[in-house]
Chain A
Amino acid sequence: MSGQVVFGAVSTRETLNVVQADLFPFAEELHVNLSAYFTIILQHSRVSDSDKKFLRNGVQWLNEEASAMYEKLYTKLTLNERQSVLKNIAQESWGESWIETVLTYTMEAILSDKIYGVNQQEQAHKWLAFDMGLPRPTKALL
C-alpha cells in the first residue's frame, strides 16, 4: 500500500507540529516556534534532500502505523493513543531514527540563536544556565 496515496492529503507540517509537542512538550513553555523552525529545515540550503525526504517519509510511515493501530490519522488520535504509536515505531529502526531526527531539530530550535527567529526569548539557555558564545551571529545561515 502506498502511503503517498492514502495519506497524500496529510500535511507534513501539521503532523510534525503534533509530534514535536508529543515528544518535547516543554518547548511550548519555552515559547519556541517549532513549526517555523521545521519550515526552515525543510527549505534549508544546507540540509540534504535525503534528510528532508526522510522527515517527510517519516510522517507518512507514522500515519500508516497510526492507521494500522487505530484506523485514524496520527493527528486525530488522543494523547495516549499518540504515545502508543510513538512507542511502537520506536521499536522499529526507521522509527527510532525518525524520532531522534525530530528531537534533534527540536533541540536545534530551542537552543538556537534568536537571529533564526524562532527562539526570541532564548529561555532554554537560561533553563540550562548556558552562556552563549561570543560574538553572537548577526546573520542567519539559511
Chain B
Amino acid sequence: MKYDVCIVGSGAGGSPIAYELSNAGYNVVVLEKGKNYTESDFSKDELAVSRREKFTPLLKDEKHIIYDREKDGSVKRYDGAEYSWSFWNGSMVGGSSNLMSGYFHRMKPDDFRLLSTYGKIEGANVVDWAISYEELEPYYEKVERVVGVSGVVAKHKFAQARSTPTFPFPALEVNVVTEWFDASCKELGFESIQTPRAVLPKSALGRNGCSYSNFCGSYGCATGAKGSARAALLQKCSAKIITEAFVYRLESDSSKITKVHYYDKDLKSQTIEAKIFVLSAQAIESSRLLLNSKNKFFPQGMANSSGEVGKNLIFSAGGSGQGRFEFENLSQKQQEGLMQPGLFFNRSLQDWYDYEEDSKRYKGGTIDFLFEHANVISRATREFYNEDGEIIWGEELKQKIHKSLTTSRVLTFEVFNDWLPTDECFVSIEEQSKDKFGVSVGAINLSGHPQDLEVGRYLAKKAVKVLEEMGAKDVSMSISASPPPNLVAGGCRFGDDAKKSVLDKNCKVHDLENLYVTDASFMPTGGSVPYTWTIYANSFRVADVIKKCLARS
C-alpha cells in the first residue's frame, strides 16, 4: 500500500507531523528504530537506565567515529565503541523526549536573526533563520496547549512577546530553597525566572499529573506527566508505528523520494511507499541517512546538490557548575526543607541573554538551576577522591559518602549558549566502519569556536555569584568544548538559497518535491536554550504546510 505520509523517527521532530496528519484523516506510518515502551515500563532503576543505558544501542553494534579537533588544529580519531563515547540518546518510540528534563524556554526574536543583530563572527557560519520568531510564536503556543507546558510567565528584560498571557498549566511545586535563591538574586540585582516545564502538575490532556518521583531527567515518566512525544502525541493519534525498523536508504527518482528501505527486527529488508516522506531521525543520523543514500540522481548523497548535508553541525555550548549546602550552616528547619525529595527547583536566569563586555555586544544565554540528580550510585561514586585528589577507600570513604549524602545537598546549574556553526564541525560518513546492519556509520567531526567558551564562562561566573550569595560551599564551574550528545542540531540547515542550504523555509529539501526534515537538523543556529520546544513548534508548523500540500494533491 502507499501511505500519505511516511515518517522516519518518532521523536519530537516526527511526532507532531504524525499527530496532526493522522488526526486530519491522512494515512500515516512512522518507522522507529527502537522499541515501544509504555508508562508501566518506566521504573526508576538506576542500574538499568543510567548505568547500563538501557534505552540506547550497544556501541559494539552501533557506533560513531569521532574526529576531535584540538586547539593546535590537529585532529584525533576516536572509535566510539573503543572509547565508550556515545552520541545516542533515546532509541525508542518518542525518542529522547521520553528522557528529557523538559526545561522549556522559547528562543528569542534575536535568535532568529543572529547575523543581522550581532554581525559576522570570524570563523563562524552565522546566518539569520529563514523564519522569524513571530512566525513560530503560534506554534510555541500550540505546544503549550497540546504537549503541555506548566509554569508562570515571567516578566523580565529579555522576555519575548506572547500571544497568550499565561501558560495553560500552573507551575509545579518547588523546594523551599528556591526562596533562598530568589532572595539572593534580588540582593544581586538579578531577575529570578520560574523555569517553564513540559510536565503537567495535575491530570490533564488524558494524562496523569506529576508524581514528584525525584527521578525526572534521564528517566521515562511513569505517570505520563512529562510531555514526551510518545505520551503527548503518538498515544493520541492513529498513526501506525512500526518499531525496530532501521531505515538504511532512501530511494528516489530525479525529483521525488519513491520509497524507504528498512531492516525489520529480524534484519529482513522491507520497503515503504508514500506520497510524502519526513525525516526526523535526530540530527546526526538524518545527515548520515541522506549521505548514505547516494544514487545516480544525487551522487553526493540524497538532497545534497548543495554539498551542505551534514555541514554546520551544532550543539548547545556552555557547561555546568555546582555548590553544596551543608547542614552545619543551617537551622533544623532549613535542613529539613533542603532535603525534601521530589520537589523541583525550577529557577533560571536570562539576565545576560544579550550583554556587552569591553564595548562589544555579545549574544549570551540561559542558566538553569536544578538540584543534583537523585541517582544515588552516581552520587556515591563522586566521593571517591579526597581534597588532595587522591583516591580513598575503606573507613575514610564510608565516612565521606555518609556525610556528603546525608548532611548536605548539591545545587547545580547548566549554562546554555550558542555553539557557533563552523566549517570544522560536521557529519560525514566513515565508509570503512559498518554497524550491525552493515551500513557505514556516521563520522562526527567536532570543533568549537573560541567565543562559545568565552560566553559560557561569562555566564557561569554569574551563576557562581548566586550560589556564593546563597551560602553554598565548594562552589565550582566547568565550561568546556565537550559536546552534549543530547543537545545536537544542524546538518541540514534551512534557508532561502538552495546553494547554501539543504532545506527551504518550510523544511522541504530544495532538491526534492516530497521530502521534509523536521528534527533539529534544520536549525542554522541553536539559540541559547534547550532545543526541544523549538523542535516541537517547528514540526507543528511544517505539519500545517504538509496538510495544505496533501489537500491540494
Contacts and interface: CB of A to CB of B under 8 A. Distances in A.
B186 interface: no
Given A48-B84, A130-B405, A137-B45, A24 B393 contact: yes
Contacts of B380: 107, 111, 128
Contacts of B384: 100, 103
Q: What 7 A-B pairs come out closest when comparing CB atoms?
A: A133-B44, A141-B48, A137-B45, A133-B215, A137-B43, A46-B52, A23-B393
Contact of B52 (A96, A115, A135, A141): A141
Contacts of B43: 133, 135-138
Nearest to A138: B43
A135 B222 contact: yes
Interface string A37-76: 0000000111111110000000000000000000000000
Nearest to B48: A141
B545 interface: no
Contacts of A131: 214, 341
A7 interface: no
A68 to B, nearest CB: 21
A49 B82 CA distance: 10
A87 to B, nearest CB: 10
Contacts of A135: 40, 42-44, 222
Contact of B213 (A44, A125, A130, A134): A134
- Among A100, A125, A132, find the residue whose CB has the most chain B CB atoms closer than 10 A: A132
Nearest to A25: B394
Q: Which range contains the number of B residues in contact with the other chain? A: 35 or more
B397 interface: yes
Contacts of B394: 22-25
Interface string B376-406: 1100110010000011011101100110011
Given A135-B43, A136-B43, A90 B52 contact: no
Interface residues of A, number: 42
B549 interface: no
Contacts of B398: 24, 26
Given A128-B402, A133-B46, A133-B215, 12 more contacts: A24-B394, A48-B59, A48-B60, A86-B393, A90-B391, A100-B384, A103-B384, A103-B391, A104-B381, A135-B42, A135-B44, A141-B52
Contact of B47 (A96, A99, A108): A108
B376 A125 contact: yes
Contact of A127 (B53, B59, B402): B402
B152 to A, nearest CB: 27
A31 B406 CA distance: 21
Interface in A113-139: 113, 115-116, 125, 127-138
B276 to A, nearest CB: 38
A111 B374 CA distance: 13
Contacts of B51: 108
A100 B58 contact: no
Contacts of A113: 45, 47
A108 B60 contact: no
Contacts of B54: 46, 141
Nearest to B214: A133
Contacts of A127: 402
